[in-house]
């Protein structure tokens, strides 16, 4: 697509830390952009596609691959901005994976909730939904939870290379309807083809360019 029109160049992408509690979060504070979604929806693949660093985040065809909060240290050069912008991409374990077991799921949701509710540097959450499936109960619950807690959320429809353009469009309408927000922006993405990459980088660039008004 419009690869050469990208306003953002990722200059660095490296794994920084894994955490299951506060003490393990990175010390240095930076803006954070978080990826959340059901197991196997393509969170880790999207991080690799976005940064163009192969195998930065571990991908697996088996659901339940990512089991900790993983912080990736990202540097970006934004068109028209002198200084390099440093920020974190944050990969979360997937929700809604039955085989994980109720006990483990409880522990996960506890440390994920703790992170999401207390991170002062969190900019927005990308919630990923597989374009081929109607949002499931756990997707709707997660979306509502984020909204109720005033966490900005961008819905991304993943694996768009797996179905045709028309099917993608009707699926996106269905996602909006099921989530109950007709005017919602849903970004179609394919990590395989890097489609949606330029658009997501633009959203990230705008958010990095914003100065911290409260400070």
Ligand X SMILES: Nc1nc2c(ncn2[C@@H]2O[C@H](COP(=O)(O)OP(=O)(O)OP(=O)(O)O)[C@@H](O)[C@H]2O)c(=O)[nH]1
Residues that bind ligand X (CB under 6 A): 37, 39-45, 59-61, 63-66, 93-94, 158-159, 161-162, 190-192
Burial class from Cβ neighbours inside 10 Å (0-12, 13-18, 19+) for residue 137 reads exposed
| Residue 64 per-residue DSSP state | -
Q: Of 18-77, which residues contact Mg ion (CB under 5 A)?
A: 43-44, 65-66
CB 72 to Mg ion: min, Å: 12
Q: How far is the CB of 163 from Mg ion (least distance, A)?
A: 22
Residue nearest to ligand X (CB): 94
> Could you give the CA distance from residue 209 to residue 8 in angstroms, rounded to a whole number?
11
Q: Name which of 14 and 29 has its Cβ closer to ligand X.
A: 14
Closest distance of CB 202 from Mg ion, Å: 24
For the bound state, the minimum distance from the C-beta of residue 69 to Mg ion, rounded and expressed in Å, comes to 11
Query: Whose Cβ is closer to ligand X: residue 31's or residue 65's?
Result: 65
CB nearer Mg ion, residue 46 or residue 208: 46
Q: Which is nearer to Mg ion, 44 or 190 (CB)?
A: 44
How many residues contact Mg ion, by CB under 5 A? 4
Coil, helix or strand at residue 40: coil
The helix (H) or strand (E) run that includes residue 124 is strand 122-130
How far is CA 45 from each of CA 88, 133, 146, 213, rounded to the nearest angstrom?
A: 16, 18, 23, 33
Decide whether 68 or 178 has the Cβ nearer to ligand X: 68
Q: Does 197 bind Mg ion (CB under 5 A)?
A: no
CB of 77 or CB of 124, closer to ligand X: 124
- Give which of ligand X, Mg ion, none residue 63 binds (C-beta under 5 to 8 Å, depending on kind): ligand X
How far is C-alpha 29 from the geometric centre of its chain's CA atoms? 19
Contacts for 155 with CB less than 8 Å, ≥ 6 apart? 126, 127, 129, 143, 175, 179, 184, 185, 186, 187
Strand partners, 86: 75
Partner from ligand X, Mg ion, none binding residue 191, C-beta < 5-8 Å depending on class: ligand X
CA-nearest of 170, 163, 173 to 195 is 163
Phi first, then psi: give them for residue 47, nearest 5 degrees. -65, -40
Binding site for Mg ion (CB under 5 A): 43-44, 65-66
């Amino acid at each position: 697509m419009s690869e050469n029109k990208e306003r953002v160049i990722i200059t660095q992408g490296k794994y920084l830390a894994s955490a299951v509690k506060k003490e393990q979060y990175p010390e240095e504070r930076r803006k954070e952009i978080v990826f959340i979604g059901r197991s196997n929806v393509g969170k880790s693949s999207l991080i690799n596609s976005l940064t163009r660093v192969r195998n930065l985040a571990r991908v697996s065809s088996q659901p339940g691959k990512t089991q900790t909060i993983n912080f990736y240290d990202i540097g970006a050069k934004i068109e028209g901005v002198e200084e390099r912008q440093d920020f974190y991409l944050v990969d979360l374990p997937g929700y809604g994976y039955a085989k994980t077991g109720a006990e483990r799921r409880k522990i996960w949701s506890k440390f994920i909730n703790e992170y999401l509710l207390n991170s002062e540097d969190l900019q927005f959450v990308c919630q990923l939904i597989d374009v081929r499936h109607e949002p499931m109960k756990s997707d709707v619950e997660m979306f509502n939870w984020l909204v109720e807690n005033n966490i900005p959320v961008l819905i991304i429809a993943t694996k768009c290379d797996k179905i045709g353009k028309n099917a993608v469009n009707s699926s996106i309408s269905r996602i909006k309807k099921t989530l109950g927000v007709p005017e919602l922006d849903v970004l179609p993405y394919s990590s395989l083809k890097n489609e949606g990459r330029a658009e997501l980088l633009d959203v990230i660039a705008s958010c990095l360019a914003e100065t911290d008004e409260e400070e």
